[in-house]
Amino acid sequence: MYQHRVSPERGTLSAVLSIEQAFPNRVCGVLRTQDAEAGFQACLAAMEGGIGSIEITTDVPSCYEMIRGLRASTGDSHPIGVGTVWDPGAVLEAKDAGAAFVVTPVVLPEVAEACRAHDMLCVLGALTPTEIYQARLAGAKLVKVFPVAPVGESHTSARSVGLWEASRCGCPAG
């Protein structure tokens, strides 16, 4: 389905990436589509256009195969993660596909634990100050403040509890 030059080795990532490595220019494109081939091409175009990292949600058809194809097509030049992860079992699938990070839509401590067990960078989703705090306690190295749109960036929960600047843990999304 996906055209690529080289076949990546299964599970070649062995160490947890730092936040700076996973998000080198602090911009992460998120792919959510039902058209896998168009999504694959959109990811390539986004990377060529300067997007530093890509998150492919688990509801994209063949998301793990797409990660393998993107890694091979780009020479593994961009960190690619798996998003909308609800199940801790998906962490090993993500690692086997060569994903650099895992993103959840809400605070899921069991996914954070699976990320620790499999040496994967964990990004937990949260919105309220309490959720952001719980995500940090669960072991998230980065908290995806999501969805920001309903509350507005000027009222982002992370700022209200002082986590934004103090720990650089937040990234607003949605």
pLDDT tens profile 86-122: 999 999 999 999 999 999 999 999 999 999 999 999 9
Domain 22-102 architecture? Alpha-Beta Barrel (3.20)
SS (H, E, C) the chain: CCCCCCCCCCCCCCCCCCHHHHCCCCCEEEECCCCHHHHHHHHHHHHHCCCCEEEEECCCCCHHHHHHHHHHHCCCCCCEEEECCCCCHHHHHHHHHCCCEEECCCCCHHHHHHHHHCCCEEEEEECCHHHHHHHHHHCCCEEEECCCCCCCHHHCHHHHCCHHHHHCCEEECC
Q: Which residue ranges make up each domain of the chain? A: 22-102, 104-116+123-174
pLDDT tens profile 45-84: 999 999 999 999 999 999 999 999 999 999 999 999 999 9
Higher pLDDT, 147 or 111: 111
Q: Evaluate if residue 137 carries a pLDDT over 60.
A: yes
pTM confidence score: 0.81
